[in-house]
Structure 1
């Protein structure tokens, strides 16, 4: 059945039960039918009947025998990880990445294509489609085995229409990603801001699992946040929630790409780190970075600053410490406003370790209110280089594991 098909109360209850059982197998598997009944509160006959439907659909499979508590060993159930596939696309500033994954979130194949600087809308869409074609070809699965496409797009995104409203670093506006990709691939497409998609991925597979309230902060070329409140992604009334990179940290700070002065992004994102290092060298401070670039300081990057810090370069260490303090001010504001239980840092800057984390945490301890500061844990993501694409395909998983999502399978 198609997503959104009206259902009666009995059928709706059955779909809720089916979704409940499927999610129990996803989260607890391998798990027996008896354990499912105990965990869900459903009757054994109901569990048996719905499991039979899930087996027939190829969504779950019977695996090894479980431990016996007397009598026959129970047959265990788990997701059929290779029975169906989801596709995730990360459309970033410099590249498009597409991956295929099983229902358990394990990535099967990937494809990456570079993005030119300031591509046309037609060129951008063509590259997204080609990246998807490549990963589909590599996966070698029948088309009916694909359950949907998720897209994590940088910038402002209208999730209801699947529209990229504005991608500032690509200078693109009003890109109809959902309409274009659904027409091309005949699959349901979900489009979300890339950092909110990252947060969703963390809630399913990373350090946000089981948490009701947390914030994922991505610090890279840009700086943004994905906010999870009461287990749900918070998008805001105009889909712009999480643009913490454009909150003011220093009213006399450098100009941001948004036109404002002293934005967190202009103080703490990758380009800001490189620029701060360049200025200090130009003012006469010594650094390995000058030799590494043969004096061509425009070649300094945030990654190079981190490498210099690891070599003991005092200028680089100081620049990263300043970055941590700026981030700490921004995070303290978030703690006082939203009171999350965890902050998850992602992106290249977050990989600078204690060079950034130590001054960040010290600043949070000084500037946030005592109660939210003591309650929060600040960690870095452990999801690796494909976290962006994982977040994208989790958009599809979120849909298909709901009652209405089960209804379309």
Structure 2
């Protein structure tokens, strides 16, 4: 057998394995015969691959199915709780670290603080400390962890696992994949946090019925993950989805990127706090005065949300206005990409019912057509863990998605 033939055989075997694994994940419990029927693989091929998957403990035999005249078939399903993935969402002030099983079910979680403006070395150290802490404290055996996924804010090179630019830290070229693989000797995948949020929602959240969607992560900054035909779109230089830096007001505030009037200077968490401070200093009545004891430096987006939940008219209107600003950005996405659905997540999305009024008003006013105005806008199902769980999906794709790049 030539080297080329051997390589082709191994590739086909791997694609077939992924195809079978994915079918068991999506349709299990399922019989070997049904897998052969739905994949058009021969029964012996299915039987051999299933035998291998059972040996590696990724698949288990479970209940017997209904008989169709002969012996009852033994059904197969993913051995979901036998293996685990560790996912990290790297934000401005903290890292959310989670452990999930092979079905994305949350099994453990922790939060690691990030020092102000860390160096590359300090950031990597914090990440490693968090991972070691989770692996050591987890009730799950270390050898059952199959990989680490990282959702990192800013511009990311997902192929090489490098954070090209982390604007909140003013850092460039952080070799996350190399550092973590060397330390933990397991698969490491790195992606932008808005894309991991989108991926998490696509697999396990509010996007699992749509191959054309956009996930918008609204926190200390604003980013978007664009999903086209079930695949994340990165663009030529990995900057697709930087919706936070779309200009919505030429005379607006200066952004951290150096431009003026970016969307995130109006709708991200810090901008909500800044707008609140500015208006409160003019004497606007609000419950916020009491919540911060008159110290405007204590005003954060969370305080505005708390006051809104307690019926504070000033805070409610401020969040409605934030929704209108977001609506402008989402309308731009609708007109540019025409997705089936837009999913809004991130810390600011916790104020969902205050934001939605302004979002929908803006889209109804600015949408180009009736169908554009009716684009589905919903909030994240996975909530604060969406990006971290999506980071786990980066690893799951290696097992459940074929090597030709798409879901099997």
Give the TM-score category using the shorter length: over 0.9
CA distance in 1 between partners of 2:390 and 2:29 (Å):
24
Displacement of 1:292 in angstroms is: 1.5
Instruction: Find the aligned partners of 1:301 and 1:139 in 2 and give their Cα distance.
Output: 33
Alpha carbons 1:201, 1:394 under 8 Å: kept: yes
Alignment of 1:146-295 (within 5 A): 146-295=145-294
Distance of 2:37 and 2:94 partners within structure 1? 47
User: What is the CA-CA distance between 1:374 and the residue it aligns to?
Assistant: 4.4
CA distance in 2, matches of 1:177, 1:183: 10
Structure 1 stretches of 4+ with a deviation exceeding 4 A read 140-144
Partner residue, 1:84: 83
Secondary structure at the aligned position of 1:340 is classed as coil
Q: Deviations over 1:49-93 (max 9, x none)?
A: 221121112110011222334443322211111332222122211
1:4-19 alignment, distance < 5 Å: 8-19=7-18
Shifted more, 336-345 versus 297-306: the winner is: 297-306
Name 1:393's counterpart in structure 2.
Answer: 392
Partner of 1:53: 52
1:15/1:404 contact within 8 Å kept: yes
Q: Distance in 2 between matches of 1:104 and 1:399?
A: 14
Q: Return closer, same or farther for 1:403/1:219 CA change in 2, 3 Å cut-off.
A: closer
- Mark the runs of 5 or more structure 2 residues left unpaired by the alignment: none
Contact in 2 for aligned 1:109/1:138 (Cα 8 Å): no
Q: Which residue of 2 aligns with 1:21?
A: 20
Question: Tell me, what secondary structure is at the counterpart of 2:82?
Answer: coil
The unaligned stretches of length 5 or more in structure 1 are: none
Is 1:195–1:225's contact at 8 Å kept on the other side of the alignment? yes
In the alignment, the residues of structure 1 paired with residue 265 and residue 402 of structure 2 have an alpha-carbon distance, to the nearest angstrom, of 43
The 8 Å contact of residues 108 and 139 in structure 1, kept in 2 or not, is answered as no
Deviation at 1:6, TM superposition (A): 9.2
> Which moves more between the two structures, 83-92 or 297-306?
83-92
2:357 aligned residue: 358
CA distance in 1, matches of 2:155, 2:20: 36
- Partner residue of 2:372? 373
After superposition, the C-alpha distances for 1:211-245 in whole angstroms (9 at most, x for unaligned) are 11100001111111111111111111111111100
Using structure 1 for the length normalisation, give the TM-score. Answer: 0.93
Deviation at residue 354 of structure 1 after TM alignment: 2.4
1:281-333 CA distances to partner (integer Å, 9 max, x unpaired)? 22222111112212111211112112212222121111111111111111111
Q: SS of 1:212's equivalent?
A: coil
Shift of 1:352: 1.1
CA RMSD of aligned residues (A): 2.0
CA distance in 2, matches of 1:311, 1:82: 41
Q: Is the 8 A contact 2:331 2:366 kept in 1?
A: yes
TM-score by length of 2: 0.93
- In the TM superposition, residue 387 of structure 1 has moved relative to its aligned partner by 1.6
Residue 323 of structure 2 corresponds to which residue in structure 1? 324
For 2:10 and 2:322, the matched residues in 1 are separated by 54
Distance 1:310 1:98 in 2: 28
Distance 1:284 1:274 in 2: 16
Deviation string 1:387-409 (CA, Å, 9 cap, x unpaired) is 2210111111112223459xxxx
